[in-house]
Amino acid sequence: MTLPKSSSEILDIPSLTEKLLRGAVSNPGIDAYKPHASQEKFHCSIAKEKLYIGGNRSGKTTGAIAEDVMRACGRHPYRTDLPSPPVYGRIVAVDFEEGVKKMVIPELQKWTPLSMLRNGSWDDSYDKQSRTLTLVNGSFIELMSYEQEVEKFAGTSRHFVHFDEEPPEDIYDECMMRLVDTDGDYWIAMTPLIELSWVKDKLYDPWLRGDESVYVLEVDTEENPYIQIEVLNRLTRKMSDEQKDTRTKGTFITHTGLIYGEACKIVSYREGGNIVPDILGADFKAFTAGWSHFVCMDHGLHNPTVFLFCCFDSMGRIIVYDELYISGREKRLVKDNARRYNQRLEALGIYPIYCVGDPNIQNRNAVTGTSVQTEYAEHQVMIALGHNDVNAGITRTQNRFSEGYLYISERCVETLKELRNYRWDRYASSRLAARKNKKEVPLKKNDHCMDALRYGVMSRPAIDTIGETSVGNIINAPVAGPIEFDYELVFSNPENPGHKVYDEVLGTEW
């Protein structure tokens, strides 16, 4: 027998055993994964599009990453219809520091079998520079973040995309194009808070209405067998019912943080709401007889440009009946916007008494010496400068909605979309929020119709200054009042309100 040359070469059986046991606990591999009932439903679904909504600690992140690993390894115990390796996947998290490093990577390390790693080593398999995990079977999973520019999400095809928390819509759209060649799948694992909301509009709400193109799984935190219910109840006892439902059941927030949430009811006027039918398909001129027209707008260079077409009556009621929403992606010049606006006026056959817009359009370009307002005027679109006191405008708009003096046509899709999601801004971190007062400004995201609407509402006199009639008397008047909104009667009202432009808002130069 050959003896070791030194004691350092003697095999330390106890230490080796301890190391192996620790590895089995921290990196058990996908074969040791035991999903709870809802996670198993997620894995079994053959839907191409999945929305995995769960409360905090409901196991949605673990379940979603286990799905990533199963597919990349070619070891899916619930599906036999998936492509064989090599499989190319993408995981997109909120940010690199908290999302990728502290949540995604540890879960990947935990569930990826050592036998699938190059040399059985994570370090040999994970490229920190490209943030890509490559397995011995040729499969890879790239890790990305919503912090990156949307152009970074282009590239070659992927078999699947996993979004950890709700993605920005433009990043989602770009990732969808990566799935076209492979007829790939995607899933969004999220707790619905209030920063984003397009998923609710485009995926969740259609599912509620019976659309089966997206598989939606809602998971309660209490379904996680590793959670102690009494501890969960103790730690959430001070939350409001709505906050608790969001944090533990994954319920979408309805009104918390919404600017017009309580004032504007996005249901039919017949149900006491602020939505009226599309009038453009009927005899539009007859419908609006006795009403006057005006337009409000918000100009964007890289952002969308919006024109809202409105009419008002002598009682002060306003109806937004049409919209022209020019996407920022179209990158149109002012002359193009003006042409499309004039074409819409011609199609509608109306002559608005004024168009009011963002007062910032008067600012002159440092290079050309001209302003956006001047450019529009050169193309026969005269725009008065609107009132830009944001809080005053929001307050007046809230009042008009709640008192029944402001209605939106169901035709105005983008306006209604923004209404559902128009929220107060928050601080980026809970630490800042604790040190400062609550923000009193709207979240500057997808608010172009809301800005235009605010300019439009502020261009009309306050409700209680219309004529000599008080709000109470208007409500009790024999004609259709703002509370009992008789759509047919209102549009047949023969009274002409006149064409007065209010100098205190629009300025005497108009």
Which of 219, 239, 259 is the last residue before a domain boundary? 239
Domain stop point among 220, 239, 258: 239
pLDDT of residue 38: 86
Strand partners, 318: 312, 406
Q: Quick one: pLDDT at residue 426? A: 57
Q: How buried is 18 (Cβ within 10 angstroms: 0-12 exposed, 13-18 middle, 19+ buried)?
A: exposed
* 290 CB-near residues (< 8 Å, 6+ apart): 313, 492, 493, 494, 495, 496, 497
Give the distance from CA 318 to its chain's centroid.
27
412's tokens: 């105005």
Is 85 found in the same domain as 208?
yes
325 DSSP β-pair partners? 306
pLDDT score recorded for residue 472: 30
Instruction: Identify whether residues 187 and 287 lie together within a single domain.
Output: no
| Residue range of the domain that includes 418 | 269-506
* Number of domains into which the chain is organized: 2
What is the model's pLDDT at position 288?
A: 74
CATH number at residue 154: 3.40.50.300
Q: What sign for the dihedral angle of Cα 344, 346, 347, 350? A: positive
Task: With respect to residue 487, please indicate whether it lies within any of the assigned structural domains.
Answer: yes
pLDDT in the model for residue 250: 55
Q: In what order do the strands lie in the sheet with 318-326?
A: 275-276, 406-409, 318-326, 305-312, 292-298, 355-357, 384-385
DSSP per residue, 37-101: HHHHHHHH---SEEEEEE-TTSSHHHHHHHHHHHHHHT--TT-SSSPPSS-EEEEEES-IIIIII
Domain boundary among 239, 257, 279: 239
Residue 4 backbone zone (phi > 0: left; psi -120 to 50: alpha; other: beta): beta
Judge if 428 and 288 occupy the same domain: yes
- Burial of 305 (C-beta count, 10 Å sphere; 0-12/13-18/19+): buried
d(CA 187, CA 175): 11
Specify whether 174 is located in the same domain as 40.
yes
| Residue ranges of the chain with per-residue pLDDT less than 70 | 1-28, 55-57, 193-197, 221-257, 281-283, 328-331, 366-367, 425-445, 463-510
* 3-class secondary structure, 472: helix
- Helix and strand totals (H; E) in the chain: 20, 15
Q: Is residue 263 part of a domain?
A: no
In a domain, 256, yes or no: no
Same domain? 395 vs 471: yes
Q: Output the pLDDT for position 432.
A: 36
Instruction: State the sign of the Cα–Cα–Cα–Cα dihedral 158, 42, 191, 227.
Output: negative
Classified as helix, coil or strand, 292 is strand
Given a contact cutoff of 8 angstroms between Cβ atoms, the answer to whether 319 and 407 are in contact is: yes
Per-residue pLDDT, 123: 94
332 and 404 belong to one structural domain: yes
**Rg, the chain, Cα only:** 29
Encode pLDDT of 235-260 as tens digits. Answer: 445 555 555 554 555 556 544 467 88
Element housing 308 (H / E): strand 305-312
Residues 312 and 410 in one domain: yes
The sheet carrying 132-134 orders its strands as 126-127, 132-134, 140-145, 88-93, 160-164, 185-190, 49-54, 215-219
Q: Are 192 and 53 in contact (CB under 8 A)?
A: yes
Q: What is the CATH number of the domain that holds 345?
A: 3.30.420.280
CA 13 to chain centre: 56
Q: Cα separation of 326 and 299, whole Å?
A: 10
| Residue 492 and residue 344 share a domain | yes
Whether 210 is in a domain gets the answer: yes
* Identity of the amino acid at 49: E
Distances (CA, A) of 271 to 193, 268, 274, 288, 478: 28, 5, 9, 22, 21
Say whether both 164 and 69 belong to one domain: yes
Alpha-helix runs per DSSP H in 74-168: 105-111, 122-125
Is 259 inside a domain boundary?
Answer: no
Q: What value does the mean pLDDT of the chain take?
A: 78
Considering the domain architecture, whether residues 219 and 170 belong to the same structural domain is answered as yes
Contact 297, 357 (CB under 8 A): yes
For residue 9, tell me if it sits in a domain: no
* Inside any domain, residue 451: yes
CA angle 216, 110, 31 (to 5 degrees): 75
Q: Same domain, yes or no, for 234 and 378? A: no
* CB neighbours of residue 127 within 10 Å: 13
**Do residues 223 and 277 share a domain?**
no
The pLDDT score that the predictor gives to residue 355 is 93
Task: Supply the pLDDT for residue 133.
Answer: 97
In a domain, 4, yes or no: no
